Chain A
Amino acid sequence: MKCRVCGEPAVISLKAYSTALCAPHFISFLEKRTLNTINKYRLIENGEKPIVAVSGGKDSLSVWFMLNKLGYAADGVYINLGIENYSDISLAKIEKMADLLMKKVYSFDIKRLSDKGIDGLAKVLKRVPCSACGMIKRYVMNRVCIEYGYTTLVTGHNIDDEASALFGNVLYWKEEYLGKKNVVLEARHGHLSKKVKPFFLCSERDIAAYAILNNIDYIREECPFSVGAKTLIYKDMLNRLEQLSPGTKIQFVKGYLKSFIKNRQEDIKNTENFCSKCGYPTYGSICNMCRVLERLNIGEGHICFDEYDPSVLDTTERLMT
């Protein structure tokens, strides 16, 4: 196949758009698409200070790389889940990207809460690891924004993440979750930072290609706790549909944005309370994270961050790491 723009050999075919592109034109296509999403949904506006939630995977490292390339100076925040042979590799890849971008990374080590990592913590909390991880991530990522003055938390969620979550919520008619997914969730009451998803309309396949073409060194191993996750089953089903009928995922998600979400946002605002201890949104009187801290008999002081700042490392130190 030839690149639709320049006629050079293509490196990727995009069936949903009936086109194929060479490396430079594909990179430009994905950056333009992301920039359009940022502008259309006002994800990052003048004066805002973004920070990217990074995991070491292709999506978060790519969005971090791309934002800085497009002129949105952004630091990173990482949660070390204490998973053997996984978390430390992830952190090394994140620090490598931080060195390249010359940006700071804040990291929170879950061992501050439990010396056995997320697995041990989940057992104590009688939750599955993914549920405990999600709850802690949401809280800690928000916390770093509030504490260090970042206005906007950026995540690498892509259209496959959104489509699979939507699919699961529709399949079981989880009305309480429908309408919560959006490209942007505005900041509220000084306790909740703005959350944005610049890759909301980009596919996982395209983001992986972008990472490869830009030599982004991301962790290719899956989180060991994701084996058998329902999200992956939904993604598999949606990808089968996509292969048979290209464009299905984008139509599903865009249709949701257009026709469903407007009716639901007001309902959500009206049903939320705020934690009496920390101010974080909750449906009860105390948020889940404060309950966890109470249960572990740990003070809020344990939610603190290590900082990795390549700009203060000297040349020798950087060469050695």
Chain B
Amino acid sequence: MTIECDGKVIEYNKPIDIYRLMEQLSINREVYLPMVNDRLVTEDYRAEKGDSVKFIKVVSGG
């Protein structure tokens, strides 16, 4: 599967729960929304091989 966050793309081979992935990548759930194959998902969603996972940053402003 491909994982995209802040413009960086990485490959991951095994199925994994989104919350585990967020822990591994140190992603704060308040700052990013997880999307799998362009659809919003909850953190317990299990991403499978071939999925496209994106973390959308939600924080803005200066």
Q: Is A239 a contact of B60 with CB atoms below 8 Å?
A: no
Closest beta carbon of chain B to A167's beta carbon, Å? 13
**Whole-angstrom CA separation of A204 from B33 in the bound complex:** 11
Closest beta carbon of chain B to A177's beta carbon, Å? 17
Given contacts A242-B30, A243-B29, A231 and B61 within 8 Å (CB-CB): yes
Is A216 at the interface (CB under 8 A from chain B)? no
Given contacts A11-B40, A11-B41, A239 and B33 within 8 Å (CB-CB): no
Contact partners of A243 in chain B: CB under 8 A: 28-30
Is B56 at the interface (CB under 8 A from chain A)? yes
Q: Is B61 a contact of A235 with CB atoms below 8 Å?
A: yes
**Whole-angstrom CA separation of A11 from B61 in the bound complex:** 25
Q: List 7 A-B contacts (CB under 8 A).
A: A1-B42, A11-B41, A23-B40, A204-B58, A204-B59, A205-B58, A212-B35
Q: Is B59 a contact of A213 with CB atoms below 8 Å?
A: no
Q: What per-residue 1/0 map shows which CB atoms of A192-228 lie under 8 Å from chain B?
A: 0000000000011101110011000000101101110
Q: Select which of A1, A23, A207, A226 is within 8 A of B62 by beta carbon.
A: A226
Nearest to A26 among chain B residues (CB) is B40
Within 8 A of B (CB), among A221-270: 222-223, 225-227, 229, 231-232, 235-236, 239-240, 242-243
Number of interface residues of B (CB under 8 A): 19
Within 8 A of A (CB), among B14-62: 28-31, 33, 35, 39-44, 56-62
Is A130 at the interface (CB under 8 A from chain B)? yes
Closest beta carbon of chain A to B40's beta carbon, Å? 4
Contact partners of A213 in chain B: CB under 8 A: 40
- Where the two chains meet, the residues of B that have a C-beta atom closer than 8 Å to any C-beta of A are 28-31, 33, 35, 39-44, 56-62
**Whole-angstrom CA separation of A58 from B61 in the bound complex:** 11
Nearest to A57 among chain B residues (CB) is B60
Q: Is B28 a contact of A130 with CB atoms below 8 Å?
A: no
**Whole-angstrom CA separation of A212 from B32 in the bound complex:** 13
Contact partners of B61 in chain A: CB under 8 A: 160-161, 164, 226, 229, 231-232, 235
Q: Is A204 a contact of B60 with CB atoms below 8 Å?
A: yes
Contact partners of A240 in chain B: CB under 8 A: 28
Given contacts A212-B33, A243-B28, A243-B30, A160 and B42 within 8 Å (CB-CB): no
**Whole-angstrom CA separation of A207 from B42 in the bound complex:** 16
Is A98 at the interface (CB under 8 A from chain B)? no
**Whole-angstrom CA separation of A240 from B44 in the bound complex:** 20
Closest beta carbon of chain B to A124's beta carbon, Å? 20
